[in-house]
Each structure stands twice: as C-alpha cells, then as structure tokens.
C-alpha cells in the first residue's frame, strides 16, 4: 500500500501517490504517468507493482488544475465522457512541467540514490515521450501514447533512453500516425520500439476492457528489464 504526498510548484500544489519497496530496494525511482482517468486503481496498482520490484514509484495528479483527485474507469459511458472532457482541456506543457517537478521530488525520496525514470500510458504515453525530450529523466517508457505524432519535431531533443510500446490496432492512433511515429523514431540512438499485433489501445491496462494478457506480460517484462538497467 502506498500513501498520498503533496508536491509544491509555482502557483499551487498537487497530490501524488507514492509506493515504496519493503525489501530489495534498488535505489532508483519511477514516475508513473496517468491515463485520462486520473490516479485510479490501475495507476495505484501499477505503482505498487513497481514497488514490489524494488523501485520507489510515484504517480502525480496531473488534473489538479482542472479538478483534483479525479478517479475514473473505462467501464461506463459517463466516466468516458468526463475523462475525454478533461483530456480535451488538458495543458500538455503544464503537465510536463508538473512531471519535471515530480521527477525532482522522486530524486529526493528516502533511499533514491540512482536514476529516475518515467512510464506513461495513453495520455501518459505522450507525456513520457516528452519527458525524454524536455526533462532530465534518466529513462522513459511510452505505452500506446496518443498524440506523439504531433510532437515529433522534438525527437531531436531526446536524451534519455526511450522504450515505446505501440498497439497495432490502436483505435486512438490511426495507422498513418503509427507509421509516422515508427519511421521518425526507429534508428534513433537509445530508442527501442515494440509493436503488438492484434492489440487495441490500452492492452496493458489492469482490468481494462481491452486488456490482452499475453501482450501486457511481454510489454511489462520489457519495461521491467529496461528500468532494471537504469543507473
């Protein structure tokens, strides 16, 4: 079980869910970046799972400027409508700034003596990509990021190692966008791309509508190995 902490930034403060390892601490941390549903059970479980592997894991509330403490699922139309409305009004640049603050907070957590990586899903997949270009994150993992094709001009600024998981049947990322992303990023130094045939968006969402156990297991194993190599 994790706990709630508060992160202060210019103009206010926001909550974050913090999970810490009870054993076999690695000395490294992971910033878990939410989907469009806020810090829900899926995000908390994801943090807890990373903590069980020895990482400090922290998930910030990126909707705090719009509505603090949003917690939605993908199970009802009402929740989808609210999530999509929040997503449409979300300020990406301010979100990346909040993530930068979260990365610096993670570096100050007890027991963190090494690198801090980021991992994001959906909206968070885009934001994870941007942490590799705009912040001092030591590694970044993007799961089925939405909107990355609109930010590829920033690819040349990528400094952190970047792992990308791309669903081949992602209904929120058209085939042309997926092809553009892969073409732009493949061959770049420190970029690793994996595609998942037959998988729809959010194939790794815990208890999600489109959860694919085999693909999620493969992607999560690659992510774990990627972060285990982080210094």
Distance CA 151, CA 142 (A): 14
Helix H or strand E segment including 47 = helix 41-52
> Residues with catalytic annotation?
170, 201
Q: Parallel, antiparallel, or unpaired for β 12-19 and 56-60?
A: antiparallel
Write down the number of H helices and E strands in the chain: 6, 8
Distance CA 78, CA 55 (A): 35
Supply the DSSP string of 146-184, one letter for each residue: SSGGGGGGGGGG--S-EEEEEETT-TTS-HHHHHHHHHH
Distance CA 12, CA 1 (A): 26
């Amino acid at each position: 079980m994790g706990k709630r902490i508060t992160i202060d930034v210019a103009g206010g403060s926001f909550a974050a869910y913090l999970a810490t390892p009870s054993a076999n601490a690695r000395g490294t941390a992971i910033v878990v970046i939410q989907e469009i549903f806020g810090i829900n059970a899926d995000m908390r479980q994801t943090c807890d799972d990373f903590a069980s592997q020895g990482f400090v894991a922290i998930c910030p509330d990126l909707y705090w400027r719009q509505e603090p403490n949003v917690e939605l699922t993908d199970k009802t139309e009402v929740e989808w409508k609210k999530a999509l409305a929040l997503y449409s009004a979300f300020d990406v640049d301010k979100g990346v700034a909040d993530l930068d603050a979260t990365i610096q907070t993670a570096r100050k957590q007890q027991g963190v003596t090494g690198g801090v990586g980021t991992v994001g899903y959906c909206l968070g997949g885009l934001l994870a990509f941007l942490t590799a270009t705009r912040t001092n994150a030591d590694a970044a993992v993007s799961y089925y990021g939405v909107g990355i094709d609109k930010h590829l001009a920033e690819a040349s600024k990528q400094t952190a190692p970047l792992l990308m998981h791309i669903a081949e049947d992602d209904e929120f990322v058209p085939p042309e966008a997926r092809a553009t992303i892969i073409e732009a990023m493949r061959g770049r130094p420190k970029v690793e791309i994996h595609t998942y045939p037959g998988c729809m968006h959010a194939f790794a969402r815990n208890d999600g509508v489109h959860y694919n156990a085999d693909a999620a297991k493969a992607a999560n194993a690659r992510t774990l190995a990627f972060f285990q190599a982080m210094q």
